[in-house]
Amino acid sequence: MLLEVRDLHVEFHTRDGVAKAVDGVGYGVDAGETLAVLGESGSGKSVTAQAVMGILDTPPGRITGGEVLFQGRDLLKLKEEERRRVRGAEMAMIFQDALSSLNPVLSVGDQLAEMFTVHRGMSRRDARAKAVELMDRVRIPAARERVGQYPHQFSGGMRQRIMIAMALALEPALIIADEPTTALDVTVQAQVMELLSELQREYDMGLILITHDLGVVADVADRIAVMYAGRIVESAPVHDIYKAPAHPYTRGLLDSVPRLDLKGRELYAIKGLPPNLTHVPPGCAFHPRCPLARDVCRTDEPPLYEVSPTRGSACHFWRECLNG
């Protein structure tokens, strides 16, 4: 395994009490594999990624347990200086909004070149040439002329390509993309996603794709981990999930996607709201919103049941769910 997260716990200390943003999350990704992490806002998917990258703001956040094994090393045990060397060079991250993720006072060429001067000790001239090469690689037209321009002179899609180029600069083994297409137009979304998965294949990288867009997931992901209230509720190969979800929350998510073949019918919505993380319901956190909930769900927290060797579901009644 390239990256394996084991039983990760992250807490935030807030005025209302301790919020368990990540509560025992585990997932893994191999080289060349794409893992999609699905979930609503506040389900802990971004916080998990930040903990893996080591860019969680502490305080208010605090990692209270677990392991992040990257190429066999536990990153959580490394010193900050060693971690910093891993970031960018061996694992990199792409953020949601590329305009705000690029420094407005530096030209895009400077920002790309910085990757090489900082991590590789290249000369400015060589780094600049590399920057142009990277911009070509992510198919920015007229890269040579545009390398000196500033982020606000590029369109949203082009900016996201530049972010991708920065993340890919040092050919990291793992890329975490936190909703990389959410801020883009639908047509541009597809182009950017296609570029990302193409480059991933080319470099044989592991990719963790954090998203709430089920359409994107179906096209590019190999595995899916569904998160709810800081936990993984279902983890499975992508085809299994689309064929038959083994958790009522996953089923709810899939049913709430508009479908052409069900035109004219009322769109399904999961009733209720995600729980407040300072006061997560006892038992299964999803039970107040779950159509299958029984008494046991209100008292006993479901473990991640093994549905098949490659599949897990944190639902007491996963069999029922699987059979519809």
Please tell me whether residue 129 binds other proteins under the rule CB under 8 A: no
Q: How many residues bind other proteins (CB under 8 A)?
A: 46
Dihedral sign, Cα of residue 182, residue 184, residue 190, residue 192: negative
Counts of helices then strands in the chain (DSSP H, E) = 13, 12
Per CB under 8 A, contacts with other proteins among 1-60 are: 53, 55
Query: Mask: binding to other proteins, 258-297, rule CB under 8 A, as x and -?
Result: ----------------------------------------
Which of 38, 51, 115, 232: binder of other proteins (CB under 8 A)?
115
DSSP letter for each residue of 239-257:
HHHHH--SSHHHHHHHHTS
Task: Give the residue among 146, 166, 144 at the shortest CA–CA distance from 154.
Answer: 146
The backbone region for 265, taken as left when phi is positive above 0, alpha when psi lies in -120 to 50, beta otherwise, is beta
Closest CA to 164 of 122, 121, 207, 119: 207
The correct pick among 62, 87, 137, 212 for binding other proteins (CB under 8 A) is: 87
Between 131 and 270, name the residue whose CB sits nearer to other proteins: 131
Instruction: Give how far the C-alpha of residue 307 lies from the chain's centroid of Cα atoms, to the nearest Å.
Output: 24
**Near other proteins in 162-221, by CB under 8 A:** 163, 166-167, 185, 187-188, 191
What are the strands, taking DSSP E only, across the chain? 3-14, 17-29, 34-38, 61-70, 73-74, 91-94, 174-178, 206-211, 223-228, 231-237, 305-308, 311-313
Report d(CA 170, CA 103) in Å as an integer. Answer: 19
Least Cβ distance, residue 36 to other proteins (angstroms): 19
Contact between 103 and other proteins (CB under 8 A)?
Answer: yes
Residue 305 within binding range of other proteins, rule CB under 8 A: no
Q: How far is the CB of 176 from other proteins (least distance, A)?
A: 8
Binder of other proteins out of 118, 122, 244, 292 (CB under 8 A):
118
Give the closest residue to 27 by CA, choosing from 225, 211, 233, 249: 225
Kindly indicate which of the ranges 4-12, 93-101, 212-220, 227-235 contains the residues binding other proteins, using the contact rule CB under 8 A: 93-101
Report, in Å, the least distance between residue 313 CB and other proteins.
32
* Site residues for other proteins per CB under 8 A: 53, 55, 84-89, 92-93, 95, 97, 100-107, 114-115, 118-119, 139, 141-142, 145-146, 148-150, 152-158, 163, 166-167, 185, 187-188, 191
